[in-house]
Structure 1
């Protein structure tokens, strides 16, 4: 497979042919337009500037100045990144891409960059959608992107404690392959799973497979090891500790600003044997939200509890349900889960939900036998995995297709949801004339949901980044004003900084700045992310 330098995933998996025709027909039915296609430029024609720095002889073998390498590490994978790539707009590119072979190489790279005042951006899979890996430095200093892809092994497995010591550069599928012989799994499956790494998940506090209980990578961490410009930090491996503020919590979500995460001990699970899943349709969205809250507060802890609103259900599951569809799933390595699903369905019926007659999953005898499928859930899951490719195809046809997410408490959801959707509609009407906004819950907690919104609007080729930026600013203001977080699991990066600065408490900002100064005296680590460069 060939990784796309300009868009999501593999070149061979791009949307083409009949799949593309079907996608464009579906979009035209929602937001009419010409949808003329555009091809990405050839990297060789981009005319990238010459590197401003050369690696010393001791590190030269680790560093690449290849234009294709530099272009592929210039942006993340957000809509605005993809569009800028399509236009050949790579005004910020790393001067070099370094690929350390081990932790000693990381230390040597940081020592060199500290001495020379070179910015360092830690790079996992490059799937950031918030400008987190973009070498956009306000002082225009040279940049070395440190790609950790060679640090990709499971180093130790503790079967007794169900934990493993894992290098940070391992991609999701390769991690699971290495755990499989031990009948263990991390069970962390973000949408970017195939193209993101453990270190990236830790650095951005990624949200994964579970819609309840173990929602963030934070919940699966036992200890973290990271290289900082002043030394190596490694927390003690423990199931829990009350010894002061957690050193792991300082690095979780630090987005490469405090150190380069090189490995971590991760809590594992046995691979599930029992599964049960289905979907529930609703005639009223408020009732669907109430049912979802009841399930989230029940203690049943479903692995999947995703509420799709009417637009999301129609676009991505092909279902006409005025109040939306709740996709439910339970799993366990220890015991049958059919009774949990049935209790959840009772709660849904209490709020007017109509469960599908289909049930998916394994039989309760644990043999792995299939007990039928759930067409709605299956269709949505298949579409979910193709969404980033669909986004890229639409971007090539001057469509604005992007997402944003937040979280809030249940008591604030109605007000926030109304404010956000109205802000999105008004902004789309202002900059494009029309558009569609969708919503689904990606994760739900006893005290609140994590709404995830989609935007589909016709753009003008050459202006879609500016149009999206206007929409994004409007919805971000609505989120900040009505008590949501600027990000639930997409991270802060550079794109969310203005709203993050307003969200965090001032004393914490002071403490974070002090930590940055202490750990990174030369200010080389991902300058401009989380904190102003300086």
Structure 2
């Protein structure tokens, strides 16, 4: 079987996108269902045409690093940006505004150290790539300014091995370049799993998860990768950074906590010890219908405060349930699930369903397939669907946040209103809860509107700015699990204390004296 080829312009793999002939046949039905869009299907720019206009690298590759660095044009394009709507629509039109000058593929830490030393001396920005799935401008070398001669993307795909497995403590030491499937494949051979499944699972990497404080699929308890990390090792411009492997510690500020969420600004994460467990044998789930989204939110709050700790507690508003084939648009849908490696979970599901009934919920009858399966399949296909809609003249994007329960109803109304006002009519703004805590939910919004073809970047920017301002002004966080990057940094700066920003600048100056590590992320490039 031949290896799958990643799309150079859009999400995922080429074979995950609709062939243009099939899309042309489906376009009229898509337009009819949405009420907007175009039956005129656009095709992405040809990679060969983009390569023909790619500028030459600005910096020469030293002879000693030619086995590690490449200036191949296609690799430079593929590592130039992430997979946000902004990234994708520009690539779709053949626009690569900030190509990297070289791509580094170190095979061990010594080679990585050599790349960092060269970059500091040559004034070359270093952009850790991970799986390239950033949706917030985290891997695009923009805003570099005159201080830098060029930029190099560092791809740790070769550092993907399972090095050690401690089945007594249930932990594993794994290379940061391991993608989700690669990581789970290696653990599965030992009957273990990390139990961490972000929507980007098939492409994103362990190092990327840690660097961005990624969120997994499970809705309570261990929601972020933070909760699964025992220790982290990184290579910084001034040496190795490795925290001690411990189940917990009260010894001052934690070394691995500072690397979590550092987004490549302090160094390149090379490996980590993470908590693993046997694959769960006991599972139970059910779909529950609620007359309104806010009624469902009240039930989810009760569930999150009950101590039942469901593995899945995804509340989807009526319109999103309809769009994913899991509802008819008249009721909100809750996907409620429990799992365990040790014991039957039927009693926990029964109590969870009782709480739902107390709040006006109506559980579906248990059956194979059904709404739970329909929503799960749609969840995995959503990133590909965004690209499909782009081809038929529809803007589709997402953003997410977190807010406390007491403020959620007013917050939700404010954010939806600001987003709709920025897009104009017609548009759709839907919401689901991806994660829930005893003190609040993590709402995840999806926006769909007619695209202004050829002007999508400005249209998206107006929507993004309006939604982001509304989120921060109403007391939410600019991101719950999508990271900061360059797109969210202006809003991140408004929600963090000034004294913390000063401390972060000090840490970066000490660890990265030349300022080459992912400049413009978390801090302005000049910082």
| TM value normalised by structure 2 | 0.96
Structure 2 residue aligned with 1:395, among 374, 390, 393? 390
Question: Match of 1:380, SS?
Answer: helix
Hey, what does 1:53 align to over in structure 2?
59
- Displacement of 1:27 in angstroms is 4.6
The number of aligned residues is 518
- 8 Å CA contact 1:205–1:216 kept in 2: the answer is yes
Hey, what does 2:38 align to over in structure 1?
34
Is 1:313 the counterpart of 2:321 in the alignment?
yes
Where in structure 2 are there 5+ consecutive unaligned residues? Answer: none
Structure 2 residue aligned with 1:260, among 268, 283, 291? 268
Hey, what does 2:500 align to over in structure 1?
508
Hey, what does 1:216 align to over in structure 2?
224
| Ranges of 4+ aligned residues in structure 1 off by more than 4 Å | 17-24
Is 1:522 the counterpart of 2:514 in the alignment?
yes
- 8 Å CA contact 2:27–2:39 kept in 1: the answer is no
- Displacement of 1:465 in angstroms is 1.4
Q: Residues 183-198 of structure 1: matches in 2 within 5 Å? A: 183-198=191-206
Question: Match of 2:202, SS?
Answer: helix
Q: Residues 90-489 of structure 1: matches in 2 within 5 Å? A: 90-139=96-145, 141=148, 142-358=150-366, 372-429=367-424, 433-489=425-481
- 8 Å CA contact 1:282–1:321 kept in 2: the answer is no
Question: Match of 1:232, SS?
Answer: strand
Question: Match of 2:115, SS?
Answer: helix
Hey, what does 1:77 align to over in structure 2?
83
Structure-1 separation of matches of 2:73 and 2:369 = 46
- Displacement of 1:356 in angstroms is 0.5
- Displacement of 1:329 in angstroms is 1.0
Structure 2 residue aligned with 1:6, among 6, 9, 24? 9
- Residues 450 and 20 of structure 1: is their aligned pair in 2 closer, same or farther, counting only changes over 3 Å? farther
Structure-2 separation of matches of 1:384 and 1:11 = 19
- Residues 9 and 221 of structure 1: is their aligned pair in 2 closer, same or farther, counting only changes over 3 Å? same
Structure-2 separation of matches of 1:62 and 1:27 = 48
- Displacement of 1:63 in angstroms is 1.2
Is 1:64 the counterpart of 2:70 in the alignment?
yes
Question: Match of 1:317, SS?
Answer: coil
Hey, what does 2:485 align to over in structure 1?
493
Structure-2 separation of matches of 1:423 and 1:390 = 24
Structure-2 separation of matches of 1:293 and 1:59 = 55
Instruction: Please provide the CA RMSD for this pair.
Output: 1.3
- Residues 192 and 23 of structure 1: is their aligned pair in 2 closer, same or farther, counting only changes over 3 Å? farther
- Displacement of 1:322 in angstroms is 3.0
Structure-2 separation of matches of 1:166 and 1:468 = 38
Question: Match of 1:327, SS?
Answer: strand
- Displacement of 1:32 in angstroms is 2.1
- 8 Å CA contact 1:399–1:464 kept in 2: the answer is no
- Residues 104 and 425 of structure 1: is their aligned pair in 2 closer, same or farther, counting only changes over 3 Å? same
- 8 Å CA contact 1:286–1:323 kept in 2: the answer is no
- 8 Å CA contact 1:148–1:168 kept in 2: the answer is yes
- 8 Å CA contact 1:288–1:323 kept in 2: the answer is no
- 8 Å CA contact 1:4–1:10 kept in 2: the answer is yes
Structure-2 separation of matches of 1:8 and 1:302 = 30
- Displacement of 1:55 in angstroms is 1.9
Structure-1 separation of matches of 2:27 and 2:518 = 38
- 8 Å CA contact 2:104–2:154 kept in 1: the answer is yes
- Displacement of 1:23 in angstroms is 6.9
| TM value normalised by structure 1 | 0.95
- 8 Å CA contact 2:6–2:12 kept in 1: the answer is yes
Question: Match of 1:194, SS?
Answer: coil
- 8 Å CA contact 1:35–1:399 kept in 2: the answer is no
Where in structure 1 are there 5+ consecutive unaligned residues? Answer: 359-371
Structure-2 separation of matches of 1:451 and 1:503 = 18
- Displacement of 1:67 in angstroms is 1.3
Hey, what does 1:362 align to over in structure 2?
none
Structure-2 separation of matches of 1:238 and 1:375 = 43
